[in-house]
Amino acid sequence: MDTRTELYINGAWVESTAEETIDVVNPATEETIGRVPNATAEDVDRAVRAARAAFPAWSGTTLEERIGWLTKLKEGIEARSEEFALLVTREMGAPLEMCRNVNVANASRSIEAIIQELQAFDFSEELGNSLIVYEPVGVAACITPWNFPLVQVIRKAATAMGTGNTVVVKPSEQTPLDAYLVAEVIHEIGLPQGVFNLVTGFGVPTGEALVSHPEVNLINLTGSTVAGKRVMALAADGLKKVALELGGKTANVILDDADLKQAIEAGLGSCYYNSGQVCVAQSRMLVPRERLEEATAIAKEIAESYSCGDPMERGGKLGPLVSERQHHRVRDYIRKGIEEGATLVTGGNDEPDGLDSGYYVRPTVFTNVSNDMTIAREEIFGPVLSIIPYEDEEDAIRIANDTPYGLAGAVWSGDMERAKKVARQIQAGKITINGAMWNSRGPFGGYKQSGIGREGGKHGIHEYLEVKCMDL
C-alpha cells in the first residue's frame, strides 16, 4: 500500500489539509494499492501561490538553463524507468511491456523532443519596425488523464517549464501515484522551489479550485469533452488562456482500392490499443457496402486472435479497463449496441475465460452499424469496434464527418493522391494515411468538440506563450 498524505508544494513535501482521501485501485486485481489526498481549495491556493512566487525568477532564466533542468529531469526518469513502468501497470492496467515501451520510453522521448523544439524556436523576430517577442504566460495548471498518465504529466509540465512558466499539476485521481514519482525525481535533481507543484484530487473540489484560482494564467487539460466544457466555463471568468485535448470518435475510412486485410488489421490494432482507452482509437471502421461481409469476416478472425490477461505477463494480451466505473460504462455501450440493432460479431459482455477478477472486457466487434447508433456517436473508451458500410467515396466522407468530434481520422487507399484528397475533406486534426508512423513532432489536437489548441512540436510550444509586439 502506497499511502500518501503529502503534496509537493514549493519544493517540499507538505501535509495536505484534506480529511478525505482517494483510493487507488489496481484494475487487474481490484485491490487498493494506494491512497492520496483529495486536496482542498486551501491546498490548491498554497500550490498556486508558490508557483506565482517562483515565476519571476524562473521566467528570467536563460533557455540554456531551463534545458539543463529538463535534461536532468529526463535522466532522473530514465534512472527509475522500471519503477515507473511497474507502477503505471499497477495503476491503470496497461501491459507491462507497453508501459516500458510507451509510457516510460515516450516520457523520456517527449522531453528530448521538447528540448529540440525549444532550441529551434525563435523567441523573437523582426517584422517591419516591430520586434515580436514570445513570453511565458505565467502559472500553468496542467490537468492530466489516466490513460497515459506519466507521458501526459511529463509532456505538459516539461513544455510549460521549458518555456519559462511555473506549474501546478493535477493528475487524474485514478492514476496519481506516478506523478508522485515525478515529483520525487524533481526534488532529487534540485529544481528551484515553486517551479513544479503537485496536488491530487477529484475534479471537485481540487480541479475546479485550480482552474478558478485568480493567479492561474493558463489551463492545459487532456480529458473528456464534458470536462473540457466545464474548464472553459470556469476559466471564462478570468479570461484565462485554455488549451484542451478532448474526446474523439475516429473514423477509419477504408476505400475500395485499399488492401482490405491490412487496413482492418491495423484498424483493429488502433481500436484495441491500451484496451481501447485511447482518444484516437479508430473505433468506427468505414468499409464499402459491397465488401461488408468480407470485412466482417476478416475483423472477426483478427479480433478473436486477441485475448485478455494479466498485464504483468508477457504477450500481446489486452489488460483491464482502468476502473469499475469504466467497466460498467463500456459494458452498457455493448448492451446498447445490441438493443439498437447492430450485429454482434464477436466479444460481448460475457466475462473473459479464466479471469476471476479485474475489469476486463472482451475484444468486441459490431457490424451493420449505422452512424446514428449510440455506439457510433459516443466515445466508448473500450475495445469495441463498429463496422459501418458506405455507398461511395462521398458517402464515406459524409459519415466520417457526421460526428461532434474531430480529433483524428484514418484513410486507406492504393492511390496515395486519392487518399490525401479524402483526408483533406475529413474534419479532424490528425489524419493517418495507410498506417503511417505517428510523427511526435507534428501538432496534435482537434476540431469541433475535440478541443482547442495543439500539443507537440512548435505548435505545442505556442500554447504556453504570450505574443508581445514592440514598435521601435
In the predicted structure, residue 317 carries a pLDDT above the cut 90: no
- Residue extent(s) of CATH 3.40.309.10 domains in the chain: 251-439
Confidence class for position 161, pLDDT limits 50, 70, 90: very high
81-92 and 177-189 helices, crossing angle to 10°: 160
Which position among 245, 379, 455, 463 bears the catalytic label? 245
Average pLDDT over the chain reads 97
CA-CA-CA-CA dihedral for 318, 320, 325, 327, to nearest 10: 50
The superfamily in CATH containing domain 251-439 is Aldehyde Dehydrogenase; Chain A, domain 2 (3.40.309.10)
How distant is the alpha carbon of residue 387 from its chain centre? 24
- Which CATH number is 2-246+449-471 given? 3.40.605.10
- Residue extent(s) of CATH 3.40.605.10 domains in the chain: 2-246+449-471
**Distance in angstroms (rounded) separating the CA atoms of residues 294 and 296:** 5
Confidence class for position 125, pLDDT limits 50, 70, 90: very high
Residues 338-370: b if buried by 16+ CB within 10 A, e if exposed? eeeebeebbbbeeebeebeebbbbbbbbbbbbe
Overall average pLDDT of the 244-250 stretch? 97
Q: Quick check: 444 and 463 in contact, CB under 8 A?
A: no
In the predicted structure, residue 468 carries a pLDDT above the cut 80: yes
**Distance in angstroms (rounded) separating the CA atoms of residues 452 and 242:** 8
- Catalytic residue status for 245: yes
Show Cβ contacts of residue 227 under 8 Å, excluding neighbours closer than 6 positions.
203, 221, 246
Q: What percent of the chain is modeled with pLDDT above 90?
A: 96
In the predicted structure, residue 326 carries a pLDDT above the cut 90: yes
291, burial (CB in 10 Å: exposed 0-12, middle 13-18, buried 19+) = middle
Strand stretches in 43-129, DSSP E: 124-127
Which position among 279, 308, 379, 455 bears the catalytic label? 279
- Catalytic residue status for 279: yes
Q: Smallest Cα–Cα separation from 248: which of 410, 372, 29?
A: 410
- pLDDT of 314 reads 78
149-162 and 81-92 helices, crossing angle to 10°: 120
Q: Over the stretch 394-422, which tens digit does the pLDDT of each residue have?
A: 999 999 999 999 999 999 999 999 999 99
Overall average pLDDT of the 146-163 stretch? 97
pTM: 0.95
Q: Quick check: 355 and 318 in contact, CB under 8 A?
A: no
In the predicted structure, residue 306 carries a pLDDT above the cut 80: yes
- pLDDT of 456 reads 93
**Distance in angstroms (rounded) separating the CA atoms of residues 381 and 249:** 9
- pLDDT of 316 reads 64
Overall average pLDDT of the 227-243 stretch? 97
Confidence class for position 135, pLDDT limits 50, 70, 90: very high
Q: Smallest Cα–Cα separation from 459: which of 13, 117, 15, 10?
A: 117
Overall average pLDDT of the 200-226 stretch? 97
